[in-house]
Amino acid sequence: MTEDQEHAEARALIESCKLRFEPAFDDLACLYEQGRMVACGARAGYVLKMLAIAPSHQGSDALGELLTRLIQSGLAAGHDTLFVFTPPQNVPSFQALNFRLLVTHGQAALLEHGPGLEAYLADHAAQITPGRNGAVVINGNPFTLGHLYLVELAARRVDRLYLFVVREELSQVPFRIRLRLAADATAHLDNVTVLDTSRYAVSAGTFPAYFLKRLDTFAAAQMQIDLRLFAQLIAPRFHIAVRFAGAEPLCPTTAAYNLVMAEVLAEHGIEMVEVPRLEAGGQPVSASRVRAAWRAGDRATLKDLVPPATLAYLLEEN
């Protein structure tokens, strides 16, 4: 069987289980019986997806065999923790195979396998301080004067502000650069701690639609999972009482995320403050506007939109 034939057979099985076939994956595991595919699943980075089992083999050890293969594949690729989305009724099956439930809402549940969240929190335990703390979560692609405006305003309103920078390598500016630019721009703020989000906020595991700028029912479910994970598991550990976000006049996906954020955080007793965007030249300062000026080599516009450290990086890379 050729790879194309295997993918076509997997697609048929996946869609027969009322799942959506997503062709972007790093590995595909398939189980056969007498030449017929009876189960399949895929791995995209650290996310397991499209786990489909024919009705004749549900309740067998097929799920365990698939997960064993995909976990081994993920570990070989350097991922110590793996995520999976599944309907809530399937949670016990995954828990029996050493997956831990992170959060559930509606028809979606998110589980992980590996050291995961507890290891992330342990790594940052020394940076956690008590008080009325706040949070800002940014991608920072790249860090702009708009980001700095938001952080400075937020820092004045809380005892400590945690500035979480999205770790995913799905942006034009690499994560290590985005993290450094955020730290450089906010170094004058004594009560700001810059951290990475790992896999636990606006990630390929919790909210992949963010990076696709997709707004549909799948994106809506992901927003709920992402924000409930933050409210239930991240905010309490960092003593976060308020989360700040910039108003979003340009991106419908982010604007919808802000609306859901206000609702979900309120349910958990966390305040959400939406801050009007800083403007320059009569337009909102945004990372997309910065990237456009960067591509055009428009140094004058860049100077109006980004802090010195970001400007230096952009000019070096242009």
| 60 and 188 fall within a common domain | no
- If asked whether residues 128 and 203 sit together in one domain, one would say yes
Predicted pLDDT of residue 209 = 65
Among 88, 114, 140, give the residue marking a domain's end.
Answer: 114
Residues 235, 138, single domain; the answer is: yes
The pLDDT, as a whole number, for residue 31 is: 95
Q: Do 10 and 67 have their domain in common?
A: yes
Do 196 and 75 sit in the same domain of this protein?
A: no
- Domain boundary pick from 97, 114, 131: 114
Q: Choose the final residue of a domain: 114, 142, 167.
A: 114
What DSSP state is assigned to residue 278?
P
**Distance in Å from the first CA to the final CA of the chain:** 47
Strands (E) located in the chain: 27-33, 36-44, 47-53, 82-86, 100-105, 108-113, 133-138, 161-165, 192-196, 240-246, 271-275, 279-280, 283-284
Do 206 and 245 fall into the same domain? yes
**pLDDT at residue number 214:** 64
Q: What range defines the domain where residue 99 resides?
A: 3-114
Res 304: pLDDT: 97
Number of folded domains in the chain?
2
Q: CB 115: neighbour CB atoms within 10 A?
A: 12
User: How much is the pLDDT for 213?
Assistant: 61
pLDDT at 80: 95
Q: Are residues 296 and 281 in the same domain?
A: yes
Domain co-membership, 140 together with 107? no
206 and 261 share one domain: yes
Let me know whether 223 and 146 are in one domain. yes
Q: At what angle do helices 175-185 and 308-317 cross, to 10 degrees?
A: 150
Burial per residue of 174-198, b for 16 or more beta-carbon CB atoms within 10 angstroms, e otherwise:
ebebbbbbbbbbbeebeebbbbbbb
Could you list the pLDDT tens digit for every one of the 318 residues in the chain? 788 889 999 999 999 998 889 888 999 999 999 989 999 999 999 999 999 999 989 888 999 999 999 999 999 999 999 999 999 999 999 999 999 999 999 888 999 999 999 999 999 999 999 999 999 999 999 999 999 999 999 999 999 999 999 998 888 999 999 999 999 999 999 999 999 999 898 787 787 766 556 667 777 888 899 999 999 999 999 999 999 999 988 788 888 899 999 999 999 999 999 999 999 999 999 999 999 999 999 999 999 999 999 999 999 986
Give the integer Cα–Cα distance in Å for 240 and 159. 10
